[in-house]
Amino acid sequence: MPTEPGTGPGAVRARGPVDPRLLRRARSVRRFLVLAVLIGSATAAAVVGQAWLIASAVGAGFAERSLTPALAVLPGLVLVIMVRAGLNWLTHTVGARAAAAVKSQLRLEIMTARLSAPDTPEVPAGRLVTMITGGLDALDGYFAKYLPQLVLAVTVPLIIGVAILAADPVSALIVALTLPLIPLFMILVGWMTQALTRRRFAAQSRLAHHFADLVAGLPTLQVFGRARAQAEGLRRSGELHRRETLRTLRVALLSALVLEVLASLSVALVAVGIGLRVVEGDLTLTIGLFVLILAPEAYLPLRLVGAHYHDSADGVAAVEQAFAVIDHRPHPEPVAAAFPLGASTIELAELTVRYPDADHPAVADVDLVINPGELVALAGPSGSGKSTLLQVLLGFRRPTAGTVRIGGTALADLDQDRWRAQLAWVPQQPALISGTVADNVELGAPGAPPGRIRAALLRAGAQDIDPDRPLPAAGAELSAGELRRVALARALLKIDCGGARWLLLDEPTAGLDPDTELAAIAGVRELGVGGLVVSHRAAVLDAADRIVALAGSSGDDQVACPSTGSANGGLDDHR
386, with CB counted inside 10 A (0-12, 13-18, 19+), is buried
Per DSSP, the chain holds a count of helices (H) and strands (E) of 18, 14
Q: What is the largest CA-CA distance in the chain?
A: 114
305 contacts 149 by C-beta, under 8 angstroms = yes
* Beta bridge mates, 471: 435
- pLDDT score for 312: 65
- pLDDT score for 4: 40
Q: Output the CA angle 74-154-291, nearest 5 degrees.
A: 40
Q: Output the CA angle 70-75-76, nearest 5 degrees.
A: 90
Beta strand 546-550 with 375-379: parallel, antiparallel or unpaired? parallel
Coil, strand or helix: which one is 350? strand
352 contacts 402 by C-beta, under 8 angstroms = yes
441 contacts 489 by C-beta, under 8 angstroms = yes
Closest residue by Cα to residue 347 from 384, 393, 387? 393
Count CA atoms closer than 13 A to 158's CA, side-chain side: 10
User: Hey, what domains does the chain have and what are their CATH numbers?
Assistant: 20-326 (1.20.1560.10), 346-574 (3.40.50.300)
End-to-end CA separation in angstroms for the chain: 40
The strands making up 502-506's β-sheet, listed across from edge to edge, are 423-426, 502-506, 530-534, 375-379, 546-550, 571-574
Coil, strand or helix: which one is 574? strand
- pLDDT score for 454: 92
3-class secondary structure per residue, 12-72: CCCCCCCCHHHHHHCHHHHHHHHHHHHHHHHHHHHHHHHHHHHHHHHHHHHHHCCCHHHHH
Query: Among positive and negative, which fits the CA dihedral 344, 333, 391, 430?
Result: negative
Beta strand 346-353 with 363-370: parallel, antiparallel or unpaired? antiparallel
Instruction: Look up residue 570 and give its DSSP letter.
Output: S
183 contacts 224 by C-beta, under 8 angstroms = no
Q: How many CB atoms lie within 10 A of CB 142?
A: 29
Per-residue pLDDT of the chain (575 residues; tens, 9 = 90+): 334 434 433 333 445 566 677 666 666 677 787 888 888 888 888 989 988 988 888 888 887 777 787 788 888 889 999 998 998 888 888 888 888 888 888 888 887 777 655 545 556 666 677 677 777 777 777 777 777 778 888 888 888 889 999 988 998 999 888 888 877 877 776 676 666 666 776 777 677 767 777 777 777 777 667 767 777 777 777 787 788 778 777 776 777 777 778 888 888 888 898 888 888 888 888 888 899 888 888 888 887 776 676 666 667 777 777 777 777 654 444 444 555 545 678 898 888 888 877 778 888 888 889 888 888 998 888 878 888 888 888 888 888 888 888 888 888 888 888 888 888 988 888 888 888 889 999 988 898 899 999 999 999 888 888 988 888 777 778 888 888 899 999 999 998 887 888 889 888 888 888 888 888 888 888 888 888 898 888 888 888 888 888 875 443 334 333 333 333 444 455 44
Whole-prediction pTM = 0.57
568 contacts 367 by C-beta, under 8 angstroms = yes
- pLDDT score for 153: 83
Closest residue by Cα to residue 373 from 345, 392, 393, 348? 345
- pLDDT score for 311: 63
3-class secondary structure per residue, 465-479: CCCCCEECCCCCCCC
